[in-house]
Amino acid sequence: MTHARQHPIQVVAHRGASEDAPEHTLAAYRKAIEDGADALECDVRLTADGHLVCVHDRRVNRTSNGRGAVSALELADLAALDFGSWKTREAWRGRDEEPDWEFLPADRTATSADTSVLTLERLLELIADAGRRVELAVETKHPTRWAGQVEERLLQLLKRFGLGVPASADESSVRIMSFSARSLHRVRAASPTLPTVYLMQFLRPRLRDGRLPAGVRIAGPSIRIVRNHPAFIERLKQAGHQVHVWTVNEPEDVGLCLELGVDAIITNRPRAVLDQLGR
Ligand code: G3P
Ligand code: CA
């Protein structure tokens, strides 16, 4: 992770290459690295016994063959579940509803070792072994419930990998994202040079002037905000913020992001976006 950044627009694999493999699995992140993604995005939650795992939803029901809240389960409980086969047609047989995403062929759910629950520690090991610079964007999910423990554990782990206290924000290969300004504030209080990203789903009136919560370096607007409020993106840039947009899967949205000169495109389809960028 010591190599310099090479491209002006980063392509970030959202939950891994999550169109081609089950989200947040080792299989999805390996594919993203193979595909040439500049960075990986992951959501983190704390288990009942204090481990950070990469799971998006509060509960494991959607993305595994188990049930229950991540916060009520221990790592060993999660390790017994399969986070891979939920995306196959077989797993949906007999249900009334159809998903709004494409089924994966059974052979693309990879081996069970690649589709068991992914700890953030294992993801950091994968990145360390990538053989090239691969950046990481970690999103703290519902951190208020844990009153600072998510951020504390996150920083402890990043420090173990030599990533917790970068010499400067520009040099950091890790950034912390959240919809919670309080969570980002806790991160900055503990590690002022670690860049933070303030995520925005809708454009709230108090943000319209392009000024983010104090100390936040990077804006993380949804593609919906970008489509509906391109002038807001300009204001963010004029205010000196980088702009990282999520989740950008359609070619016309990639085109819009390029036109507006955003800094990072967060996508479920890193290979397709890289192709569109001619990389
Ligand atoms: O990259 C930010 C984006 O992931 C936020 O939304 O729901 O996919 O975590 P969500
Ligand atoms: Ca996320």
Q: Is residue 253 part of a domain?
A: yes
Share of the chain above pLDDT 70, in %: 95
Shortest CA distance to 191 belongs to which of 222, 213, 162, 212?
162
The region, left, alpha or beta by phi > 0 then psi within -120 to 50, assigned to residue 256 is: alpha
**Domain residues for 202?**
10-57+121-276
pLDDT of residue 63: 96
Pocket of ligand 1 (CB under 6 A): 14, 41, 43, 56, 139, 177, 199, 220, 246-247, 266
Q: Is residue 112 part of a domain?
A: no
Number of domains in the chain: 1
Q: What are the residues facing 46 on neighbouring strands?
A: 52
Q: Is residue 185 part of a domain?
A: yes
Read off the CATH number of the domain in which 178 is found: 3.20.20.190
Q: Is residue 231 part of a domain?
A: yes
Q: Whose CA is nearest to atom 7 of ligand 1?
A: 56
Q: What are the residues facing 198 on neighbouring strands?
A: 178, 219
Q: Is residue 67 part of a domain?
A: no
Q: Is residue 266 part of a domain?
A: yes
Q: Is residue 213 part of a domain?
A: yes
pLDDT category of residue 111 using cuts at 50, 70 and 90: confident
Å from CA of 227 to ligand 1 middle? 17
Looking at residues 43-66, what average pLDDT do you find?
Answer: 96
Question: How many CB atoms are closer than 10 A to CB 194?
Answer: 23
Atom of ligand 1 nearest to the CA of 220: 2
Q: Is residue 247 part of a domain?
A: yes
Å from CA of 41 to ligand 2 middle? 7
